[in-house]
Structure 1
Amino acid sequence: MSRPRRIAAALALGASALLLTGCFAAPPQTAGTGAVGDRVAVAMLQPPRSGLTPFSDDAFKLSRWRTAETLVQLDAAGDAVPMLATSWSRADPTTWRFTLRDDVVFHDGTALTAAHVADVLTRATRASPPPRILDGVDLAARADGDDAVLVTTGVADPLVPQRLSSPQLSVLAPAAYTGDRVDPVGHGSGPFRLTAVQGTTSATLDRHDGYWGEPARVAGIDVTFVPDGTARAAALRTGTADVVEAVPPGQYPLLDPALVHEVPMPRTNTLYLNTARGPFADPAVRAAARAAVDRAALVASAYEGRADVAQGLLGPALPWAAPLRDDPSYAQALAARPAPAAVRGVPITLGTFTDRSELPEVAVLLEQQLEAAGFVVTQDVREYSAIEADALDGAFDAFVLSRATVLDSGDPVAYLASDFGCGGGFNISQFCDPGVQAALERAAGTEAGPERRAATARAEAAVLAADAAVPLLHERVIQGESARVGGVARDPRERDLVTTDTVLGAP
């Protein structure tokens, strides 16, 4: 029986997981060698939503399977490093030149060319909807000879290389593009060749021995899409899956602790305070709310200890953020906050949504903490689609939101500007402060690297000094890995999973 069918069987009989352990034998393998017979079985959370077109969020699956590649990729700090492009330079404020590898052959045997890369980037700008990373960006591309591509933007943009790392800008072979349709099957350039996709059920990939880089150590990947969290956990328990995405926290106690790994996510659970009207227009009242919050209690209760207490807006998924808070200027900014006001019977409305199951529980705990400090809390909890417009219009005094802090560029400045800039499109706090706006603009205009990260930390401090939002906790995701698999990526950005370093061996 094939690996996908074994997983499917485990899903169908998830309630009888113990019975399954004797039904399916592990495939032949050579311990620790990554021998040709070895294939990795992966149970993924979400099935494809857009036919695996790279212009959609399905692109992240192609990236996690290492079948589609981009011009550049990001290192752990979020800096751009070579992938299909070997180097890049800035020709003028709005133009970048990317030099391409000369040894890349797509899975269908065609070679990578500058003209084709320019065509793919142009197609991305015309996609409907366009890739998120291009939202609001006036980008154009053209070949510069046979081995380079010129990328121009309407205004100076120091993040062009980071933007081109987005999986939604992956480059597939020319034959993948037919009209408005993009077919990734057999048309990638990575170490694994996508050979078949069975709708929203499964996908199969084989090692590509003609890969331009280091070859994969396993023979292939067998993917099954498993939306049900209990079934994914059952597949891990029974050994019918080697790698499991997003194990539900409730399943954690039922699993061998050695098989589960918590990965910090670039997502912060935040209490946004309405700074434009209502009680929280007063900075001292905002300070009272901030002082009332017990972050550790939220983590212990709503997240069963599987989250990180927030020290700022940016969490451990961005490892450079915490050390920058040791700069004396950061502490000085926070020291300027007003003292908390004495609050007695101040009514506030607290909103959140049901789509993330933990948030209503967080709201209940926050209500208790805020009422203990003297606030009188009325909750409004709905589905996100029914509450988003009101939240953005400032209908609530406070709003609890689970917010991604980096977008596809791997850079958090866009998030900070969107949520706390005077013209921000997601400004739930209704916040506009000249000093914060100046700090955000300085960060946005700084070249990528250490100086930009330092400017980002200063902008974070300016936001927190105004108590426009109270960061509560940083979320984690639980990734399952069987005892026989090694070298699986634990990537906070969810771009890598099975890599060329992944290997199978006897437990």
Structure 2
Amino acid sequence: MLSSRRFVAVCATAVLSASLLSACGFEKTEMATDEKVGISLPFKPVGSFSPYSDDALLNTRMGTAETLVSLDSDGKPEALLAQSWTMPDESTAVFNLRQGVKFHDGTELTAEAVVNSLNHAMKASSKPKGLGKKELTFSAVDKHTVHVTSEVPDPVLVQRFADPGTVILSEKAFDGDKVTLINTGTGPFALASFDTDKAESTAFADYWNGAPLAQGIRTTFIEDGVARANALRGGEVSLAQAVPIAQLGELSDHQVEATPLPRGVYLHLNTNKGVFADPAMRAQAAQFVEAGPIVENIYEGHAAATEGKMFSANASWSKDVISKNSLAGATDPAGAKIRLATWTERPELPEAASVVADQLRKAGFEVEVVAKEYTTLEDALLAGDFDAVIASRNYQLGAADPVSFLSSDYTCEGGYNLSMYCNEEIDKEINDAMNIADLDARYTRAAEIAGKIVADNAVIPLAHEYSLIVFKDLEGVTIDPFERRLITEKLAKADAGAN
């Protein structure tokens, strides 16, 4: 795209070809009527916005696609594309669709479209984690009713469809194994174009909950936290996620929203190979790692102390469960070498890594810190190539179920097991917890099992993060404790009002 200065020069002096006329006309239109809101997000798209990739959350945050249900502040399902539902038995959910909903390509949201979209999600090579490991079947009862059957009783069947990977897309989204989000979602903004650095979306006038107030969204993906802060200061964007806390003092004329999240910062110790395969070495690390300085000095009040818990002590189902790292059997490591990894997109993580590295050195370890962009680290993280990893992780992703989180992150077959943890007794307890229907009892059981994993020193909880969104001259910013929604039809420039 031509810059504004270059646009003026080229369009004033060049003999305009058809293509240049088109380019100039595009630039001129945007310069004259640009009411798009600029936002910056910390992670670049890695899967062309496919909902079956790590990009799934981008679609719901940017307001370009929607799921059957959303989550309320307690993590329980609430209406979105499905206006109501029933569970006639423990293996069946019946969704009644909202009527009058259109996809961005103009086609109508019907039960057949929902079934088609969900079947693609189930068959995807990287099936959305929220759908679970068991087979689900979908059928259209009538034009606005979808029947879902699980092969096993499933207490969280309905809330599985709050997973951003289950966004409902039009038939035109699918071409064999390929899926596109361009003009195929139902959100207030239609994705128009994108690359790895930016995305453009336009207001969808036929949005079911009313026409959006903003004309569109211009999203830039900036992995460096200081660069995101600079984009705010320079007026390039009006909103940014995950601005470094150290930068907030220079953004005093901006509004800061800090909201507690179901997200922890964890020190994972590799229990399968290397130095920390020895329980005595893990106990030595646990003896010297102190979370207090990280919460107080790095997060500066924008995170909560863990009190030794994997899940926030503020959660009613976690607060009364005892959880702490075991210090028994700690042994002098005598200079054992370890590699500690973290990623740079969340600016506090490398700072935390520096503090933890110093603490581990005092414990007798020789520590090398590796801090890189997440995309360059992921394969090595999942392969267990590091002795320790500092990670930020939302424990109510997917189906918003902490039991499912434990299954994914702390079982022998877990798909995101950064601690390389494999304990058959814990696996059985997690599998048994999957069958608990009462959500309060289910979540409390998850906290109890997590306490045992912490006691085994597979993980050392460091902080419970807050959502940190910084913006200026905007109204209608959505603050979602589950980080799934950010941009809605209510977003508008503060001086634009409802016009």
Please name the residue that 1:248 is paired with. Answer: 244
Counterpart Cα distance in 2 of 1:263 and 1:257: 19
Please name the residue that 2:315 is paired with. Answer: 322
Change (3 A) 1:226 1:190: closer
Once the 2 structures are TM-superposed, how far is the Cα of residue 203 of structure 1 from its aligned partner? Answer: 0.5
Please name the residue that 1:170 is paired with. Answer: 167
Counterpart Cα distance in 2 of 1:340 and 1:100: 55
Structure 2 residue 415 is matched with structure 1 residue 415? no
Please name the residue that 1:311 is paired with. Answer: 307
Deviations 1:203-258 (A, max 9, x none): 031142x3333x25613223132425444323322434222233234533322264
Equivalent residue in structure 2 for 1:500, among 486, 489, 492? 489
Where do 1:386-401 residues align within 5 Å? Answer: 387-388=380-381, 391=384, 396=387, 399-401=389-391
Q: Which runs of 5+ in 1 are unaligned?
A: 10-26, 29-35
Once the 2 structures are TM-superposed, how far is the Cα of residue 471 of structure 1 from its aligned partner? Answer: 0.8
**One-letter code aligned to 2:141:** D
Counterpart Cα distance in 2 of 1:494 and 1:55: 18
Equivalent residue in structure 2 for 1:133, among 122, 130, 133? 130
Where do 1:4-153 residues align within 5 Å? Answer: 39-134=36-131, 136-153=133-150
Structure 2 residue 213 is matched with structure 1 residue 218? yes
Counterpart Cα distance in 2 of 1:288 and 1:380: 17
Once the 2 structures are TM-superposed, how far is the Cα of residue 171 of structure 1 from its aligned partner? Answer: 1.4
CA contact (8 A) 1:86 1:100 kept: yes
Structure 2 residue 423 is matched with structure 1 residue 432? yes
Change (3 A) 1:108 1:388: closer
CA contact (8 A) 1:48 1:58 kept: yes
Once the 2 structures are TM-superposed, how far is the Cα of residue 488 of structure 1 from its aligned partner? Answer: 0.4
Please name the residue that 2:27 is paired with. Answer: none
Where do 1:221-232 residues align within 5 Å? Answer: 221-227=216-222, 229-232=225-228
Once the 2 structures are TM-superposed, how far is the Cα of residue 118 of structure 1 from its aligned partner? Answer: 0.8
Structure 2 residue 184 is matched with structure 1 residue 192? no
CA contact (8 A) 1:439 1:458 kept: no
Deviations 1:452-477 (A, max 9, x none): 22222222233334444221123445
CA contact (8 A) 1:269 1:473 kept: yes
CA contact (8 A) 1:87 1:99 kept: yes
Please name the residue that 1:33 is paired with. Answer: none
Counterpart Cα distance in 2 of 1:56 and 1:491: 21
Once the 2 structures are TM-superposed, how far is the Cα of residue 485 of structure 1 from its aligned partner? Answer: 1.0
Change (3 A) 1:287 1:129: closer
Change (3 A) 1:230 1:173: same
Deviations 1:83-122 (A, max 9, x none): 1112223344433222222332333432222122111111
Please name the residue that 2:339 is paired with. Answer: 351
**One-letter code aligned to 2:104:** H
Counterpart Cα distance in 2 of 1:423 and 1:130: 15
**One-letter code aligned to 2:166:** L
Please name the residue that 2:155 is paired with. Answer: 158
Counterpart Cα distance in 2 of 1:385 and 1:217: 37
Bigger Cα displacement from structure 2, 295-304 vs 275-284 = 275-284
CA contact (8 A) 1:69 1:83 kept: yes
Deviations 1:325-382 (A, max 9, x none): 443xx24x76xx866457556555543215336555544433443454xx42022444
**Residue 397 of structure 2 aligns to a residue in which SS?**
coil
Identity of aligned residues (%): 32
Please name the residue that 2:476 is paired with. Answer: 487
**Residue 64 of structure 2 aligns to a residue in which SS?**
coil
Report the aligned-residue RMSD.
3.9
Deviations 1:37-88 (A, max 9, x none): 9653323344544333433343433312323221111112211111111222
Change (3 A) 1:255 1:128: same
Counterpart Cα distance in 1 of 2:418 and 2:34: 53
Bigger Cα displacement from structure 2, 450-459 vs 53-62 = 53-62
**One-letter code aligned to 2:471:** E
Q: Which runs of 5+ in 2 are unaligned?
A: 8-30
Please name the residue that 1:32 is paired with. Answer: none
Please name the residue that 2:14 is paired with. Answer: none
Counterpart Cα distance in 1 of 2:163 and 2:411: 24
**Residue 316 of structure 2 aligns to a residue in which SS?**
helix
Deviations 1:100-145 (A, max 9, x none): 2233233343222212211111122223433343463422212123
Counterpart Cα distance in 2 of 1:84 and 1:455: 31
Counterpart Cα distance in 2 of 1:54 and 1:43: 20
Count of residue correspondences: 463
Please name the residue that 1:31 is paired with. Answer: none
Please name the residue that 1:378 is paired with. Answer: 366
Counterpart Cα distance in 1 of 2:50 and 2:382: 29
CA contact (8 A) 1:70 1:169 kept: yes
Change (3 A) 1:61 1:400: closer
Where do 1:254-293 residues align within 5 Å? Answer: 254-256=250-252, 258-273=254-269, 289-293=285-289
Counterpart Cα distance in 2 of 1:280 and 1:53: 36
Counterpart Cα distance in 1 of 2:273 and 2:195: 50
